[in-house]
Amino acid sequence: MCDVCGCGDPKLVPVDVHARLLEHNDHGAAHNREHFRRHGLVAINVMGSPGAGKTALLEATARRLGGFRQLTALAGDLATERDAERLRVAGIPSSAITTGQACHLDADMVHRALHHVEWPQADYLFIENVGNLVCPAIYDLGQEANVVALSVTEGEDKPLKYPVMFRHADLVVLTKTDLLPVLDFDWVALKEALVRVMPAPRLIAVSARSGEGMGAWAEWLEARRPSPSQKVQVAS
Amino acid sequence: MCDVCGCGDPKLVPVDVHARLLEHNDHGAAHNREHFRRHGLVAINVMGSPGAGKTALLEATARRLGGFRQLTALAGDLATERDAERLRVAGIPSSAITTGQACHLDADMVHRALHHVEWPQADYLFIENVGNLVCPAIYDLGQEANVVALSVTEGEDKPLKYPVMFRHADLVVLTKTDLLPVLDFDWVALKEALVRVMPAPRLIAVSARSGEGMGAWAEWLEARRPSPSQKVQVAS
């Protein structure tokens, strides 16, 4: 079993190893969060399955918000820098975090990667996590909010089958809605699943391709921004 | 970092913990494999992202092969028994492995679950792993072959971005091909990615919905079966 992903088998993995790992991570995440808040930066941890459309969502976000907000991103993947490259082409200064065999980002990886992007000037830092609907959920990175991208082709039952991820989500962005006409998608089943799993269910449906729903997503992001008074307060 | 998924940070996780886990698992997998071979059973480890269409592939396999082969299955998920229920409805005697927070199956979980299905009489045992394109790859379950289900909506670059999974794959089944007419799918990019990552690249494209490609998949499965002489040899 996988101790670090939250399922330590006490026969094989000493409990203190697991506790030490998460404690170390929480310490790093608190440090990142302090940095972000001091600079009035909104950090968003974007999670989801491989191919859920995380990068496409951020590309479309650049088209929507890039004209009046400063965006920056870190893109996590086991191998290749493809996502960071795509985001740079879309106009988001980005750095890749190549994890090797690691199935999720942690606070240290994020901290080290911050040296490669001009984050203090940015309004938003998008941290695109490794595509994985399990392990990233329990690693705090110092983000302001957790967003889970779920594509319409993945199935309405995913919140019930991967409850840890959806329990930690502040928002679910349902992606690829342009494919709905060719699918038998059950909205009621998805909403019932989210209500059962999320502490405060919130769903925005978007198509990065057509731009549908991107306004609601941009509004949600803007509502996460600190008011000017809060910024001064934190910085003083 | 995640020691058990193959990315141990030696600062935090003692190397011997990781080694002990994998060694314990390999021992269990060898034991499972011996069982399967003695009974002339072909065990297939079916992996892929959440929503890649693993269960739908097995439902379609039941329609194709269920009339003349005895199929059985174990279905791994963090929560719910939905996949096992779907497979039973499709005519495959199945048992659920509910992993809680664990991001992959291991050999012990499979061994324990075998007590709940009549596997010795079966021709095939499908082990549907937890939906995850990272962690399940390094855990041997005692299977005859690893199959990775990749849906056409996930993107042609997945083999490059999740190389560990595809390096361990004996076959990639490209699923949901009925959606190809509404996608900009790049076959050349997918094939080039597979050639770069898989030791012996093999791809079968299927639609569980239309049945397209299911014949090639059934042939591939049948070619995994031991010849009668091999069965006798192993059993004697």
- Give pLDDT tens digits for B85-118: 999 999 999 999 999 989 999 999 999 999 999 9
pLDDT of residue A7: 42
pLDDT tens across A132-142, in order?
Answer: 999 999 999 99
How far is C-alpha B44 from the geometric centre of its chain's CA atoms?
5
The angle formed by the CA atoms of residues A180, A185 and A187, to the nearest 5 degrees, is 110
pLDDT of residue B14: 66
pLDDT of residue B16: 78
By C-alpha distance, which of A35, A30, A80, A36 is closest to A55? A80
Minimal C-alpha gap between A232 and chain B (Å) = 35
Average pLDDT, integer, range A222-235: 72
Quick check: B67 pLDDT over 60? yes
Quick check: B221 pLDDT over 50? yes
Quick check: B4 pLDDT over 80? no
Minimal C-alpha gap between B7 and chain A (Å) = 5
pLDDT of residue A16: 78
Average pLDDT, integer, range B51-63: 98
Of the partner residues B12, B102, B106, the one whose CB lies closest to the CB of residue A21 = B12
**Interchain contact, A51 vs B82, CB within 8 Å:** no
Residues of B in contact with A17 (CB under 8 A): 3, 12-14, 17
pLDDT of residue B48: 98
| Cα nearest neighbour of A24 on chain B | B12
pLDDT of residue A236: 36
- Would the CA dihedral through A35, A37, A40, A46 be positive or negative? positive
| Cα nearest neighbour of B51 on chain A | A154
Interface test with B, best of A1, A11, A105 (most B CBs within 10 A): A1
How far, in Å, CA of B106 to CA of B110, rounded?
A: 7
Mean pLDDT estimate for chain B: 92
Task: Quickly count: other Cβ atoms within 10 Å of residue B157's Cβ.
Answer: 20
Strands (E), chain B: 42-48, 71-77, 94-98, 124-128, 145-151, 171-175, 203-205
Q: Which amino acid is at A224?
A: R
Quick check: A12 pLDDT over 60? no
Provide the ipTM.
0.90
Average pLDDT, integer, range A24-37: 97
| Cα nearest neighbour of B17 on chain A | A13
Mean pLDDT estimate for chain A: 92
Residues of B in contact with A179 (CB under 8 A): 153, 179, 182
pLDDT tens across A145-204, in order?
Answer: 999 999 999 999 999 999 999 999 999 999 999 999 999 999 999 999 999 999 999 999
Minimal C-alpha gap between B39 and chain A (Å) = 27
How far, in Å, CA of A124 to CA of A70, rounded?
A: 7
Confidence label for A80 from pLDDT (cuts 50, 70 and 90): very high
Determine if the pTM surpasses 0.90: yes
**Interchain contact, A160 vs B82, CB within 8 Å:** yes
**Interchain contact, A130 vs B134, CB within 8 Å:** yes
Using the CB atoms, write b or e for A181-206: b if 16+ within 10 Å: eeeebeeeebebbbeebbeebebbbb
Three-class secondary structure of residue A62 per DSSP: helix
Do the Cβ atoms of B86 and B57 come closer than 8 Å? no
**Interchain contact, A1 vs B158, CB within 8 Å:** no
pLDDT of residue B28: 97
Average pLDDT, integer, range A77-96: 97
pLDDT of residue B134: 95
By C-alpha distance, which of B181, B188, B112, B141 is closest to B36? B141
pLDDT of residue A13: 60
**Interchain contact, B102 vs A20, CB within 8 Å:** no
Of the partner residues B7, B51, B163, the one whose CB lies closest to the CB of residue A154 = B51
Quick check: A81 pLDDT over 50? yes
Q: Which helix (H) or strand (E) holds A47?
A: strand A42-48
pLDDT of residue B2: 43
How far, in Å, CA of A114 to CA of A105, rounded?
A: 13
Of the partner residues B80, B106, B179, the one whose CB lies closest to the CB of residue A179 = B179
Minimal C-alpha gap between B9 and chain A (Å) = 10
List, as one string, the DSSP characters of B205-230: E--TTT-TTHHHHHHHHHHTSPPHHH
pLDDT of residue A19: 83
